[in-house]
Structures are given as C-alpha cells and as structure tokens.
Amino acid sequence: MTLPTTDTTVTYPDGATTSAGTVLHVEALPGGRSAVLLDTTAFHPVDTAWPDQPADRGTLTTPSTGTQAVVEAVTGGIADGRLLLGADLPVRTGTDGWVFVVAHILEGDVPTVGEEARIDVDPDLRRELSAGHTACHLAALALDAALAPAWTKEPPVDALGNPAFDALAIQRSRIEPLGSIDTYRIGKSLRRKGFSPDGLADLAAVADAVNARLAQWLDGGGAVSVERSDSALSARRTWVCELDDGRTDIPCGGTHVRDLAEIGAITCSLTRSQVDGGVEVVMRTVVTPA
Ligand SMILES: [Zn+2]
C-alpha cells in the first residue's frame, strides 16, 4: 500500500470539530488495531515531542464500517517508505525530509482506501481542552510578568517584553479539560541566565500577582486565534491573543477558545518541591467557564 506523500490537512486549529475526508492508507497494528490516515481531519492528535494537549475524543464514519470510536490519535511520520507512530517517531513534527500525518487508531473493522471518511469530535471535551490551553498560555505570560523583578541579567523576553521565565524553565506542560499543569525547573542553568530563586520565596504572593494579572486581562477581553501559513499538520502555528497590554504570540500546535469572553475566570496555584539538581515549581491552572 502506498503511503501519503504530503502532510495531513488539519482543520482543528480553526476550531473545526467535524470534517469530511478520504481514507489514504490503513496500517495494521499489533493487538487488532489499525492506524487510518486521511487526507483531511478535524481530529487533534497528541504530539510526540511536546505532548501538551491530549488527543480529541470522537468517531470515524465510513460507508463500509459505519461509525467507530477513534481509540487514540497520534502523530505519525513517514520517511524511507515507513510509517512511524507516536513514541516510535524519532523526530520533532516539522523535521525536514519527513511527511507528518494524523493517525486515527481504530479497533475492529477496517475501512478501505479511497472511501469517504467523516470525523466527529466530541465538542464538549474539545471546548474544555481549548479553554485549558488558552488559560495555560495566559498563565505563563502572567507568571513571566510576576517574576520579572527576580532577574538580574537580561534574558530573552516573551511577547509582552518580560523575561521569558516560562520558555526558559518549562519542563513539562499538560493541558486538561478546563485547566493545565505546568512544571518548571529552577536549577543551575536558569540561575546562570540571571534568575534569582529568591523571586519564588513567597509562592503565595507570586500566585496572587499572577491571578491579579489574569483577572485584569480577562476584564479587558480580547480575540484569540491560531495563525498559520498553511493547513499542513507540520506548518508552523502561532497562538495570538489581543490583550490590553499588547498582542501576544506563542508557537502552539493545539486548540484554543476564540475569545477571552468564553472564560469566566482563571485561577493559578503554585507548589514547590526539591528535586535532583534544584527545585521544581508546579503551576496548576483552573478555568471557570463564562
Ligand atoms: Zn500551546
């Protein structure tokens, strides 16, 4: 069977939760599963290298198999005539020389190449993940602002001109329905860049500053969008939010609300723990829908 020679066209960055496409390839997997590749999909897969937003939940419908649950959706890469999925994919999405695809994992009946395939994503879960992802980015910017006084050198800055603590210290980011959990490492390399850990001595005060900033931003409102040069899975995408403080942008492969008016409140809390080689700070962000 021939593998696709171009990336999957993805419509979820614009907010789509349904799509109509064509089955391009079906690959048998161990355990009675199969990976189905379509030309176009609204199904957000989990990214391999930076798995922040989990996959959507939803179904795939074809004339021959009817409606089936998509049990998993992962990013696949094609090179040298081979399809590598999820954890087996050794490169970041966008690496030259690879074709990147959304792999819809099914159990049971297998659709036929060339069939029409409809995707229906659970819109409620998507909405909650989108709100969690937008809040995650806003909280990161608010944390950068709150920690700005803790820098003694001039490190790279974020879109609002504050030292980019989030970008420099982030270890792990997980988007949840209506929230996120971000893990930061404060070790030698961050201190060498000029960050003074004293800035995190009073975590409750930092959280208060973050939450005050978030409330102010939500008060001011603003449109949210994902900008991209084209609709290929590996195209570079940027989260853009029109805040009172300015236009922010963050590279992002996920989904988002369309306007801050969809979010009622965002509340962050911070905790600290000692780990090998430094301190880990975890920011837990919770969204109250509007
Ligand atoms: Zn993002």
Q: Separation of 134 CA from ligand 1 center, angstroms?
A: 7
pLDDT band for position 277 (cuts 50, 70, 90): confident
Residue 4 falls within a domain, yes or no?
Answer: no
Task: Kindly report the average pLDDT of the chain as a whole number.
Answer: 96
Residue 72 alpha carbon to ligand 1 centre in Å: 20
Cα 162 vs. chain centroid, distance in angstroms? 22
- Does the CA dihedral 250-253-259-264 come out positive or negative? negative
Q: Which of 179, 63, 153, 174 is nearest to 116 (CA)?
A: 63
Placement of tokens 């993805």 in the chain: 10
Tell which of 121, 147, 164 closes a domain: 121
Q: Specify whether 106 is located in the same domain as 231.
A: no
Query: How far does residue 232's CA lie from ligand 1's centre (Å)?
Result: 17
Residues 193-235 have pLDDT tens digits of 999 999 999 999 999 999 999 999 999 999 999 999 999 999 9
**86 CA distance to ligand 1 centroid (A)?**
19
Residues with CB under 5 A from ligand 1 (ion): 252, 254
C-alpha 170 to ligand 1 mean position (Å): 12
Q: Are residues 110 and 163 in the same domain?
A: no
Q: How far apart are CA 163 and CA 123, in angstroms?
A: 36
89 and 214 share a domain?
Answer: no
Domain with 50, as residue range(s), is: 9-121
* 230 part of a folded domain: yes
Q: What is the mean pLDDT of residues 101-115?
A: 97
Ligand 1 centroid–CA 155 distance in Å is 22
Single out the residue in 121, 142, 166 at which a domain terminates: 121
Amino acid at position 187, single letter: G
3-state secondary structure of 266: strand
Q: Tell whether 265 and 185 lie within a shared domain.
A: yes
Is 249 in the same domain as 260?
yes
**Can you give the length of the chain in residues?**
290
Q: Half-sphere exposure of residue 195, counting CA atoms within 13 Å on the CB side?
A: 30
Last residue of a domain, one of 105, 121, 137: 121
CA–centroid distance, 226 to ligand 1, in Å, is 10
The reply to whether 1 falls in a domain is no
